[in-house]
Amino acid sequence: MGILNITPDSFSGDGLLSEGRQQEDIQAQARRFVASGVDMLDVGGESTRPGSQPVSAQEELERVIPVVKWLVAAFPQTLVSIDTYKAGVAEQALMAGACIVNDIWGLRADPELAQVAAKHQSPVILMHNRSQPSNAQVTANLGGRYIGMQYDNLLEDVKRELLESVALAQAAGVPEEHIILDPGIGFGKTVEQNLELLDRLDEIRELGFPVLLGPSRKSFIGYTLDLPMDQRMEGTAAAVAVGITRQADIVRVHDVETMMRVVRMTDAIVRRGS
């Protein structure tokens, strides 16, 4: 899954609405991703970095709908997902041709989103998220991270809360085969908790649903290696490779060209018979 951040303020520095970037930049990035063999393009119109400010549904729609329409027309063989927690945005994106809903709040932020996904028969990615602004710490060089996050039992708590999101989806009529889980690396977890969650990702997979992993360029890599966002390629590659060995089914990344090679090599080693 290749990330298209249609924002001016992405944590990763790749916001495609930042100063000096135009529609042509969005299209060029999408073309590079597709040429590299990406399976999905994930379009988001609101930054989720620690300390970011929410945007209105209308502004989010203005950012993402033209992009979704263009992607669907330009790359009909590539799946397009909409990264939003707002039912109204998801509705319009699905009508514009997106086919997956990627909700960072696991259907908890907008109770109508589950019904939208069910109506459109859309798969949903349900992410675990305990982000609280009061626990966010931002430094100039390494960016934002969460501190002081308390879990009774990290894996058991994450699994339980993911299954609560699954129940919300199923109650709205989303079938089991349309549900994908995301453990929420970087969202309401400390650096150490992120490392543990990644290492034990197979326990999330044991819940019986496909798993998406999104470690790309995140601050747990930066704080582990003491590196700024633009120097986290190798750390991301390590996280992606380990995630695949722990049974991740989808990896969501910024650096598609490089990570595609990591994915293919790791698959060749650990999934020879599949």
Angle of the 256-270 helix axis to the 233-245 helix axis, nearest 10:
30
Instruction: Tell me the two tokens of residue 193.
Output: 């908790």
Q: Strand locations in 79-169, DSSP E?
A: 79-83, 100-103, 124-127, 136-139, 143-146
Cα angle 165, 168, 151; round to 5 = 25
Exactly one of 49, 86, 145, 218 is catalytic; which is it?
218
Cβ atoms within 10 Å of 80's Cβ, excluding its own: 25
**24: exposed, middle or buried (Cβ count in 10 Å: 0-12, 13-18, 19+):** exposed
Give me the residues paired with residue 100 across strands: 81
Exactly one of 63, 86, 217, 252 is catalytic; which is it?
252
Q: Are strands 136-139 and 79-83 parallel, antiparallel or unpaired?
A: unpaired
Residue 218 falls in the annotated catalytic set: yes
Residue 252 falls in the annotated catalytic set: yes
Amino acid 219 reads S
Could you tell me the sign of the dihedral formed by the alpha carbons of 123, 215, 112, 41, in that order? negative
Round to whole Å and give the CA distance between 216 and 182: 13
The residues annotated with a catalytic role in the active site are 218, 252
